[in-house]
Structure 1
Amino acid sequence: MVSCSFVQNQENSCNLACNRIDAIPMLTDQRKKAILEALKREGQVLAGELSAKFGVSEDTVRRDLRELAAEGLLQRVHGGALPASPAVAPIAERRGMEVAAKRRIAQKAAGMIAPGQVVIVDGGTTTALLVECLPRDLRATVVTHSPGVAVALAEHPTIEVVLIGGKLYKHSVVTVGAAAVEAIAHIHADLYFMGVTAVHAQAGLSTGDFEESYVKRALAARAAETVVLASAAKLNAASPYCIGPIGMAQTIVVERSTDAKLTEPIEAAGVTVVRA
């Protein structure tokens, strides 16, 4: 007959063995994979929570986040990380991303423009589609810092085009710098169609270039209403340079099939979401 004390000792030994297994630290690659899985599942990760979950120091977690950020797999923010936007790729590469969704968003945005309005149109692949969707009989003024947008409208019979000059930022093919900001200060527009690389209810609107973020802020300040055009990949994501809080936009246009989980935090922040 087995004594109770022997059974208890066996149970204790088993528990100790299990605890030792649990205490074995995850390998770096395993932690990184778990971090990315949590980011995909929850939309954000916090360094403190990851530290407790993995049983490692916050310095170790921050190193993991730093390395993942260097690979473009996430965007570090204060206290943790958010999903990185894929829209920071060069414009030639972005032209082939989510084309059908961007075109539906562009068509919806084009329908917001009323005759006689002064409209600011940002650079970007979605806004390039927007100008293609404008009716041939629309009479309006388009202000832009995108040479591509200006050229696309050069043969439009009834749209006046104002091109903002400055230093050409080749990645997005738009003008930036002090000259651009100075010219923008003299504009009063009805609408500003803003292109962004990322939209997040807490982290706000962001982009991949420091100078471009200043120009976008300046443009938003000169329009009665700012409309952000955002395909699903840009939602609940962040890029390195903040343009402004989510409330800088009055309206965000998304594709009709966009998951409600991505748009509900934006609406809760007081921004109108229009589905195209």
Structure 2
Amino acid sequence: MLAAQRRDLLLARLRQDQRVVAKDVAAELDVSEDTIRRDLRDLAAAGLCQRVYGGALPASPAVADYPTRRGVGVASKQRVAAAAAALIQPGTTVVVDGGTTALAVIQVLPTTLAATVVTHSPTVAAALAQHPAVEVYLLGGRLFKHSVVTCGAAAVEAAQAVNADVFLLGVTGVHPDAGLTTGDADEAAMKRALARRSADTYVLASAEKIGAASRFTVLPITAVAGIVTDAPADDDTVRRLTEADIPIIHA
């Protein structure tokens, strides 16, 4: 089998099984594991998979820059946003992550909602500037331009003053094996800091993030109160999460 054919097969397996185990594919094709690992390295370099120990997982399309992500899965994000907005109760303090799904949540909040929003996203804060009843706290720090959020030591220190009821967490990947992941180490650390300051964390997971993985772990799946997603109930990842007793909020 030619290299291009092997890579096509690997991509098909990623779509079908949401993971590839190198030794299993090597045995099936009667080639060395090194050969499969080289193929996976090439696919990872092209952004088509996320390599992990022993194989690979599907790469998340959500690791693109902010302007590109605004055009990805728009309808899916709107469905997730509508379901997540219902988690914000009057009088509560809510931490809202950065990202396009978080911005969609802000855009559907009722104008009568009186609550406090803490965010490290200037974009989210600006979107709330005209809301008549939501008080906004913007956490400062180094601006991570890729996602348009603050992170780094100053932002993590600012988060220590927060005590929130709910954290709406954005990630780029939700996978039963890899957990909740994102593409930048500092951003992952900031998300963890915000989760530690919140009573309950809910994941904003539009369909393209379900079953995908990125380089850096934010939290294990079991560390959150629920996952808000519009992925169908019969999706393999959703099924595995449900079997693991992870609460799924269907959008």
Q: Which runs of 4+ in 1 moved over 6 A?
A: none
**Structure 1 counterpart of 2:151, from 166, 173, 176:** 176
**Structure 2 counterpart of 1:237, from 212, 222, 227:** 212
- In the other structure, the counterpart of 2:115 is 140
Which has the higher mean CA deviation after the structures are superposed, 245-254 or 259-268?
259-268
CA contact (8 A) 1:232 1:258 kept: no
Unmatched tracts of structure 2, length 5 or more: none
- In the other structure, the counterpart of 1:211 is 186
After superposition, residues 45-124 of structure 1 pair within 5 angstroms as 45-124=20-99
State the percentage of identical aligned residues: 53
Rounded to whole Å, the distance in 1 between the matches of 2:69 and 2:202 is 20
CA contact (8 A) 1:246 1:269 kept: no
Q: TM-score, normalised by structure 1?
A: 0.88
- Residue deviations 1:143-189 (CA, integer Å, cap 9, x gap): 00000000111111111111010110111100010001111112110
After superposition, residues 185-264 of structure 1 pair within 5 angstroms as 185-255=160-230, 257=232, 259-264=234-239
Question: Aligned letter for 1:148?
Answer: T
**Structure 2 counterpart of 1:42, from 17, 32, 45:** 17
- In the other structure, the counterpart of 1:125 is 100
Rounded to whole Å, the distance in 2 between the matches of 1:214 and 1:97 is 25
Q: TM-score, normalised by structure 2?
A: 0.97
- In the other structure, the counterpart of 1:14 is none
SS class of match (1:175): strand
Rounded to whole Å, the distance in 2 between the matches of 1:257 and 1:79 is 28
Give the RMSD, CA atoms, in angstroms: 1.1
Distance 1:178 1:130, change over 3 A: same
1:122 is displaced (CA, Å) by 0.2
Rounded to whole Å, the distance in 1 between the matches of 2:16 and 2:85 is 34
- In the other structure, the counterpart of 1:275 is 250
Rounded to whole Å, the distance in 2 between the matches of 1:68 and 1:194 is 28
Unmatched tracts of structure 1, length 5 or more: 1-25
